[in-house]
Structure 1
Amino acid sequence: MAQSNSRFAVVAALVGNAMITIAKGATFLITGSGAMLSETIHSIADLFNQILLLIGLVRADQEPDQRFEYGYAGERYVWALISAVGIFFLGCGVTIYHGVQSLFHPPELAMGEMNWAIGALLFALVIDAIVFYLAIKGEWKNAVRYNKPFHNYLRYEADPAAVAVILEDGAACLGVIIALAAILLTQITGHHYWDAIGSIGIGVLLGGIAVWLIIRNQELLVGPSIPREEKQQVVQILKNNPLIDDVIDLRSRVLSIDNYRIKADLSFNPAELSKRLKKKALAAYPDIKNEQEFEEFCQNYTKDLLDTLTEEIDKIEEEIQRQIPKAQHLDLEAN
């Protein structure tokens, strides 16, 4: 579900930004506005970034194999990180550089053609707002589905591809407003520095988003532990089982947005184990007549002990996965 929502959001953003890039680029060629060039660069950066995000989502769908036994889910983080770096250097770096250049060396603006710029920006605002709404709607449903506060879900659990679309299109809407303000102030005052300031403002906005996405994807590539509340939920399930004496160690890692790995070292309660095996052992014990039969008894008792532990661990794993479906890789060990 999360994967399909992410892919829909990325494809919608890709189509929307392709149309917007053409409109903004044509308007820049007509007007020569620095703010419009910044917005064009912004849209080009978004377009290429969404292509990278889509590549990551497609590659993440590959089935596990002998080389990558836990699958290719991490591909989405690699490509999302490349996308974020692209936003930083292409979107932020080039835009701020052009804005500073325009500040000291104002270009000739076709002031009479600025209505074209305003029209293109309003068109972009409508498209970006639609894509932004669709992306927000998809992730809001996921947050409700997992009963999580929306902000916390976006910060810690949502697919980075979907978060990137939300941030990019949210920034795109804000960037359009900045560009509109810059163009209107340039028209009203006749001072070209407003256009340059708008360009720099858009660049700073892109830089902030890029840094956030880089940090988030770096965390996911390194492999954070699962959310605290779900980790506590696992511990509670284990401690509620009368056969488990103590949870000695529990470690976890987020393999992908819908795949957790959890490893726990458990101390089992010998009294409870003995209680479960006692009846069967007492039934077999009186039949022991010689050393060979005693050896067979010990072997059978050991087998029953291991079978009991195995069955109980299987039940515990089923209960954990019932309550936390994302816990797909469980490793519970007796210590």
Structure 2
Amino acid sequence: KVKTYILKRRDYTQKYTDNNTITAVRAMQEYMLTPSQMETLRQIKVRSPYASKSPIFVYLERDVEKKAIEVWGSKESLERERKRVKRLEVKRRRQLHFPISQSDNGPVIKQYQGLLSSGPGRVVGYAAAANGFICLFKLGCFLSTGSASMFSETLHSMADTGNQLLLLWGINESLKEPDEQHPYGFGNMRHIMSLISGVGIFCIGCGVSVYHGIQVLLHPATSVAYFWTFSVLIGSAIIESASLAVAVKETRKNAKKYELSFWEYVSESRDPSTNVVLLEDSAAVMGVGIAAAAIALTHYTGNVLFDAVGSIVIGGLLGGVATFLVTTNANALIGRSIPPSRLEELQETLEDDAVVRGVYDVKATQLSSEEFKFKAEIDFDGREITRAYLSTVDMENMLREIHEVKTLEELEMLISRYGEHVIDTLGVHVDRIESELKKKNPDLRHIDLEVL
């Protein structure tokens, strides 16, 4: 009587961990083993999870767990050791939380050098110094004249200086390398600080300027010392124009780099820190002109209505700038898509690959002003993947192995072994495709290709 072969199927609704593997690092961290204690364990060679890396060796987790219990005596003893090591790690992290000469991601000096060497860092640093200098002179002029327009300009420069110091801090934070708690880095700190700057401009610059203008309308006061007022305004206009020129130059350079028009680059908030300086300095130059016109009309007519209206107009100008900054940076933080033309280019690159039959559900989201992540559902051509694997094996030897098969059990084992290699080949091609995409798109930080 011929014995009927029954294929042993897995119940995929049940938990199954017998084939789970673990790296040597995880084995030492989670099971408190030393390299010498793992020397007797069986190693399995697998494809590296990192592109362009050589294969790595892993262990079956069940073997590691068994060895750990053997070393520590019991599961309870192993768990006590885990807790002890965890307490020590927490204590160590607390001691390193506020280092004196070293940050979590590198020397402090090196980080600040990176801040000053970056384009946005230079632009914001120059603007902060210029606005701080101007703010002191405007404040002195307001105290001597009592002009409502000059008061608005003082608040404007004060808000700009504070905001630019916040931007400098945000740029510095964005330069940090990714860590365990922030695997995608700190790039969005620039958008966060720019958003806070927009709120600050609206509350301090816009709100107080409009309020003070209304107060002057209700309680008129006479302004004096017009010569010094105009001198300060002219000096402010020169310094603000120089700072604006630096921001415009940086924006044009970056817009050309991304092949965008000047306005498209600004509206997409690709460089939020430079955007704030660009818009603040533009408003500052216009604000100086408005203040000068309002004070001149007040001087020649003796009517403080012009001065009050000038303060209100400057407040409205700052409100418009603040609204634009809040809106663009909020959209960036929510997760804005990359331009449609670039998304189509990425999809076409995938569709042109020999092992890809179809590309679906394509999405790309900005992670920060300079990085984005990409996701797509890929229908791989199984036959092409199999051909790619077969091109690396000895076909004559494979044919001999097939002819040597005598039972269905042996056939299942042979097909399973070769099937595992085909899956590894699929992984190799996924790595290749990801590597090619990143090479063509240096700002592509993370790729998620899901197999259909």
Same fold (TM over 0.5): yes
Q: 8 Å contact 1:247–1:266 — kept in the other structure?
A: yes
Report deviation, 1:167.
0.2
Flag the structure with more relative contact order, 1 or 2, with Cα contacts below 8 A and sequence separation at least 6: 1
Q: Are 2:261 and 1:149 equivalent residues in the alignment?
A: yes
Q: Are 2:151 and 1:37 equivalent residues in the alignment?
A: yes
Report deviation, 1:101.
0.9
CA distance in 2, matches of 1:218, 1:66: 25
TM-score normalised to structure 2 length: 0.70
Report deviation, 1:145.
1.5
Where in structure 2 are the equivalents of 1:184-333 lying within 5 Å?
A: 184-278=296-390, 280=393, 282-283=395-396, 284-288=398-402, 289-290=404-405, 291=407, 294-333=411-450
CA distance in 2, matches of 1:150, 1:259: 20
Q: 8 Å contact 1:265–1:333 — kept in the other structure?
A: yes
2:67 aligns to what? none
Report deviation, 1:258.
1.5
Q: Which runs of 4+ in 1 moved over 6 A?
A: none
Once the two structures are superposed, residues 116-150 of structure 1 have per-residue CA deviations (whole angstroms, 9 ceiling, x without a partner) of 11110110111111111101111211111222222
Report deviation, 1:275.
3.7
Larger helix percent? 1
Once the two structures are superposed, residues 249-274 of structure 1 have per-residue CA deviations (whole angstroms, 9 ceiling, x without a partner) of 22222111111111111011234334
Q: 8 Å contact 2:131–2:160 — kept in the other structure?
A: yes
**SS class of match (1:256):** coil
- Opposite residue 207 of structure 1, the aligned amino acid is G
Unaligned runs of 5+ in 1: none
**SS class of match (2:374):** strand
Q: Which has the larger radius of gyration?
A: 2
**SS class of match (2:366):** strand
Relative to 1, partners in 2 of residues 1:100 and 1:154: Cα closer, same or farther, differing over 3 Å? same
Q: How many residues align?
A: 333
* Greater Cα offset, 260-269 or 85-94: 260-269
1:99 aligns to what? 213
1:22 corresponds, among 121, 128, 136, to 136
CA distance in 2, matches of 1:278, 1:307: 12
- Opposite residue 256 of structure 2, the aligned amino acid is V
CA distance in 2, matches of 1:41, 1:186: 20
**Cα RMSD after superposing both structures:** 1.9
* Greater Cα offset, 198-207 or 292-301: 292-301
TM-score normalised to structure 1 length: 0.94
Identity of aligned residues (%): 37
Q: 8 Å contact 2:294–2:309 — kept in the other structure?
A: yes
Once the two structures are superposed, residues 46-85 of structure 1 have per-residue CA deviations (whole angstroms, 9 ceiling, x without a partner) of 1111111111111222222221111122222222211111
Report deviation, 1:157.
4.6
Q: 8 Å contact 2:269–2:329 — kept in the other structure?
A: no
